[in-house]
């Protein structure tokens, strides 16, 4: 039986990966210090509640066949506001984990981000697009890639999974797990009749559902454990190819809502100052082509924006409950 270690196992992505891997024949070694903004510890599985690079956590992972490294101080603003503190976790901690896996010849996959490509000279973004980070969060992810992929020098299989913008929810033990992002935010804002779009609104993003992301991680774990990652591969794109501007997304939400509520007036769409404008990629040409990565991973995406928006709006309405009498 394959033993898979997962750091950040109780986070938004980690919880979805655990949920997916539980359907397969494997043993899971879960590590999470439960300090993140999302906490999804499964009540029926053991959890090492320690920092992922602590001696206790490393000892817990020592007999794994593969390690999926998802733990991090995550988010553009979190890293910008505390670069030194976040680097201690994201860079120093990752280096200790990589050294440990190197010594024990344990294949490892790293949770990276499409933000590492910065403002690429050539589009669409593919697996070979070089890292050119433009802010602290992206710089730390790019350094993390370098640390983890250095394992290849010792013939230890390793992968960096560059994830695009995640959306969607999933269920864990009767709880709905989600995370703040523009799509989930729009679904909640639609209840008030007004969507707020960070300026300029033309910035484009690639969006992928959390369940498709979990399937990609499960496939990466299988390939690493089986030794079936081709030598030429080091980075894979976990993206959908559904490239949409934020303003265009707002209009899609409006259209989906009018299908659910034909009698309702159109949503008001306000463009507001962008609190992350100094660090956020605002390129209106940004596109991603993940087809080669999806073929390597051997997965077919089950979700799409067009198919999910109405369901996300319904979920937000259900969570809010019936309107109160005025």
pLDDT confidence band for 279 (50 / 70 / 90)? low
Mean predicted confidence (pLDDT) in 7-11: 97
Compute φ and ψ for 281, nearest 5 degrees: -70, 120
Q: Is the pLDDT of residue 243 over 50?
A: yes
Mean predicted confidence (pLDDT) in 155-163: 93
Model's pTM, two decimal places? 0.94
Q: Is the pLDDT of residue 326 over 50?
A: no
State the pLDDT at residue 266.
96
pLDDT confidence band for 234 (50 / 70 / 90)? very high
State the pLDDT at residue 281.
64
Question: Could you tell me what percent of the chain has a pLDDT over 70?
Answer: 95
State the pLDDT at residue 174.
86
Q: Is the pLDDT of residue 242 over 70?
A: yes
Distance CA 246, CA 239 (A): 16
Q: Is the pLDDT of residue 11 over 50?
A: yes
State the pLDDT at residue 278.
66
State the pLDDT at residue 276.
74
Mean predicted confidence (pLDDT) in 62-74: 97
pLDDT confidence band for 325 (50 / 70 / 90)? very low
Exposed/middle/buried for residue 295 (C-beta within 10 Å: 0-12, 13-18, 19+): exposed
Higher pLDDT, 174 or 220: 220
Domains of the chain by residue range? 2-167+207-238, 170-205+242-285+303-320
Strands (E), the chain: 2-7, 26-31, 47-48, 66-69, 108-113, 158-163, 165-167, 170-172, 175-177, 194-198, 204-209, 235-238, 243-245, 268-272
Q: Is the pLDDT of residue 119 over 70?
A: yes
Q: Is the pLDDT of residue 75 over 80?
A: yes
Mean of the per-residue pLDDT values of the chain: 93
Ranges 196-200, 267-271, 280-284: which has the least confidence: 280-284
Fold of 170-205+242-285+303-320: UDP-galactose 4-epimerase; domain 1 (3.90.25)
CATH value of 2-167+207-238 in 3.40.50.720, 2.30.30.360, 3.40.630.40, 3.30.930.10: 3.40.50.720
Q: For the segment 254-276, what is each residue's pLDDT rounded down to a tens digit? A: 999 999 999 999 999 999 998 87
State the pLDDT at residue 173.
86
What 3-state DSSP class applies to 143?
helix
State the pLDDT at residue 124.
96
Distance CA 180, CA 166 (A): 10
State the pLDDT at residue 306.
82
Distance CA 6, CA 71 (A): 8
Distance CA 22, CA 53 (A): 24
């Amino acid at each position: 039986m394959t033993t898979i270690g997962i750091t950040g196992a109780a986070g938004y992505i980690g919880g979805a990966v655990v949920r997916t891997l539980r359907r397969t024949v494997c043993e899971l070694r879960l590590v999470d210090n439960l300090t993140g903004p999302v906490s999804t510890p499964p009540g029926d599985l053991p959890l090492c509640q320690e920092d992922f690079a602590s001696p206790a956590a490393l000892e817990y992972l020592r007999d794994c066949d593969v390690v999926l490294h998802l733990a991090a101080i995550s988010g553009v603003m979190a890293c910008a506001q505390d670069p030194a503190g976040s680097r201690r976790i994201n860079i120093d901690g990752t280096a200790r984990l990589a050294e440990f896996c190197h010594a024990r010849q344990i294949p490892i996959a790293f949770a990276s981000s499409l933000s590492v490509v910065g403002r690429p000279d050539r589009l669409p973004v593919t697996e070979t697009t070089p890292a050119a980070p433009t802010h602290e969060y992206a710089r730390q992810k790019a350094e993390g890639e370098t640390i983890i992929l250095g394992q290849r020098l010792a013939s230890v299989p390793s992968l960096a999974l560059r994830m695009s913008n995640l959306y969607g929810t999933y269920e864990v033990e009767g709880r709905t797990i989600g995370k703040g992002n523009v799509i989930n935010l729009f679904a909640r804002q639609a209840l008030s009749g007004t969507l707020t779009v960070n300026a300029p609104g033309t910035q484009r993003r690639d969006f992928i559902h959390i369940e498709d992301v979990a399937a990609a991680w499960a496939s990466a774990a299988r390939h690493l454990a089986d030794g079936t990652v081709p030598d030429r591969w080091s980075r894979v794109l976990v993206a959908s190819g559904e490239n949409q501007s934020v303003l265009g997304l707002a209009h899609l939400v409006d259209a989906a809502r009018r299908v659910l509520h034909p009698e309702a007036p159109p949503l008001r769409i306000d463009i507001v100052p962008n609190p992350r404008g100094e660090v956020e990629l605002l390129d209106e040409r940004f596109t991603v082509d993940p087809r080669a990565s999806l073929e390597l991973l051997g997965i077919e995406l089950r979700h799409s924006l067009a198919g999910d928006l109405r369901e996300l709006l319904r979920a937000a309405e259900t969570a809010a409950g019936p309107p109160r009498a005025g």
